[in-house]
Structure 1
Amino acid sequence: MPSRIAIVDDEPSVRDSLQTLLGMHGFYCKLFESGDAFLATQRNDFDCVFLDIRMPGRDGLQTLVEYRKGIAPKPVIMMSGHADISIAVKAMRLGAINFFEKPFQKGRILEAVSEAMQVSRDMQRALENKVDLQVRMEQLTPRERDVARLICAGLLNKQIAHELGISVRTVETHRGNLMSKMGVRTVAALVSILPISGLDGIDG
């Protein structure tokens, strides 16, 4: 069965162009003209979500927050025709795995979808092995939990080092160890499995 992608944008031309591009590469796309329409559906039916920032009714960031409250939300790629750095940073901290400004570069879109599908597969394995994932979480050291918490808050290695009073190299070591213990390849996958693993809300 082909991977399923939700495209949420109030511009028909954007929805159609993404559907054409992704359809040519074997993906099934379902189109939504607003965040409200998307949230009213069976949201767990999708492997990846393209979500516009500016839409009538609930905007993209509000939709992202609501979607992330669900059970095992899948990877979200944010997009905007009027983006700025602060909006992009906020979207990533709210759980988006990527951010694109319109018009798109086809190659970058396909790379982002490939990454999103890998994250989605990691999440599915996590759901199927919840007990194992919780055991992995228990193997984290207190410092690795600190680093995980700050990674998931959107901080970069240098910022984490400053926050914890350690070197950037030490942060990189802890980061590598915790990713290995949790069995994920990317930060996006780590953030996505938090509600499953019990890491969500850790206080160090």
Structure 2
Amino acid sequence: MTDRIVHLVDDDEAIRRSASFMLKTSGYLVKTYASGAEFLKVRELPPGCILLDVRMPEMDGLEVQQALRDRGTTYPVIVMTGHGDVSVAVQAMKFGASDFIEKPFERATLLQAVEHGFDRLDRSDKAQARASEAEIMLHALTPRERDVLEGLARGLPNKTIGYDLGISPRTVEIHRANVMTKLKVASLSEALRIAFAAGLGEESASNTAPMPMPPLASR
């Protein structure tokens, strides 16, 4: 588990020392930072979980969390709070924190939160890998075949796809068959899984909702 890195950010040396000991003796690699500003100076942050104290001088944990979001850093953040400050913990969770623990915490509580964070990181990594693989597979399609797959991913029937693209439903069927062949799939559901992994079909429901029917004319 030596590649499991925990970034521990806390201005309290005693907390850094005790939490580091708990984590290191459980097989984690720990990098410690005495302030949020020191932590944010690291431009190439190794992937891992971030154990972040809320109440720190100069820059508090929520400000650090916001700075991470602005950078596009999506590593799991576990917020450490004290004094029963539930409202701050709730705000941190709204900002995307994966969990929060209250000081003083037991070893089991800390490890459970960190393990949950790494589970989330693993799922994110796998999703990114699936997206990259799906996008590579879609490179085999022509632009028109990709348009047809986009329509299918949005749940549109062949007739509607054909109308939108200015082609006949029969031509849509031909493109659809070509998509299945090029993606090497035997069913539409398999093709759609690839499409969804690549991000197709993500337009808002409002864009695909049927137009309201005009009122009936009086007889």
User: Is the shorter-chain TM-score for this pair beyond 0.5, marking a shared fold?
Assistant: yes
Change (3 A) 1:133 1:77: farther
Structure 1 residue 12: Cα displacement: 0.3
Residue 167 (structure 2) aligns with: none
Query: Quick one: distance in 2 between partners of 1:32 and 1:98?
Result: 20
Instruction: Find the aligned partners of 1:31 and 1:114 in 2 and give their Cα distance.
Output: 18
**Superposed counterparts of 1:119-158, under 5 Å:** 119-131=120-132
Aligned twin of 2:47: 46
1:43, distance to aligned residue in structure 2 (A): 5.1
Distance in 2 separating the partners of 1:74 and 1:29: 15
1:28 lines up with 2:29 in the alignment: yes
- Cα deviations across residues 134-160 of structure 1 (Å, max 9, x unaligned)? 89xx8588xxxxxxxxxxxxxxxxxxx
Identity of aligned residues (%): 32
* Match in the other structure for 1:10: 11
Taking the aligned partners of 2:78 and 2:154, their CA distance within structure 1 comes to 29
Give the 5 Å matches for 1:175-186.
none
Structure 2, unmatched stretches of 5+, are 139-149, 156-192, 207-219
The CA deviation string for residues 151-196 of structure 1, in whole angstroms up to 9 with x for no partner, is xxxxxxxxxxxxxxxxxxxxxxxxxxxxxx8xxxxxxxxxxxxxx9
Aligned length: 149
Find the aligned partners of 1:106 and 1:65 in 2 and give their Cα distance. 28
The answer to whether 1:109 aligns with 2:88 is no
After TM superposition, give the deviation of residue 131 of structure 1 in Å.
Answer: 4.2
Shift of 1:109: 1.1
Q: If the length of structure 2 is used for normalisation, what is the TM-score? A: 0.59
Match of 2:56?
A: 55
Structure 1, unaligned stretches of length 5 or more?
142-180, 182-195
Query: How far is 1:124 from its partner?
Result: 1.6
* TM-score normalised to structure 1 length: 0.63
Distance verdict in 2 for CA 1:124–1:140, change over 3 Å: farther
Partner SS state of residue 124, structure 1: helix
C-alpha change, 1:109 and 1:140, in structure 2 (3 Å) is farther
Distance in 1 between residues matched to 2:47 and 2:28, nearest whole Å = 11
Cα distance in 2 between the residues matched to 1:73 and 1:46: 9
Q: Secondary structure at the match of 2:6?
A: strand
- Report how far residue 130 of structure 1 moved: 2.8
Which structure's CA Rg is the greater one?
Answer: 2
Structure 1 CA distance for aligned equivalents of residues 54 and 87 of structure 2: 13
83-92 vs 126-135, which moves further:
126-135
Tell me the amino acid that sits aligned with residue 14 of structure 1.
I
Gap change, CA 1:84 and 1:4, over 3 Å in 2: same
Residue in structure 1 matched with residue 66 of structure 2 by the alignment: 65
Q: How does 1:64-83 map to 2 (within 5 A)?
A: 64-83=65-84
Runs of 4+ in 1 over 6 A off after TM superposition: none
Contact (CA 8 Å) 1:72, 1:123: kept in 2 or not?
Answer: no
Please report the RMSD computed on the Cα atoms of aligned residues, expressed in angstroms. Answer: 3.1
Shift of 1:70: 2.6
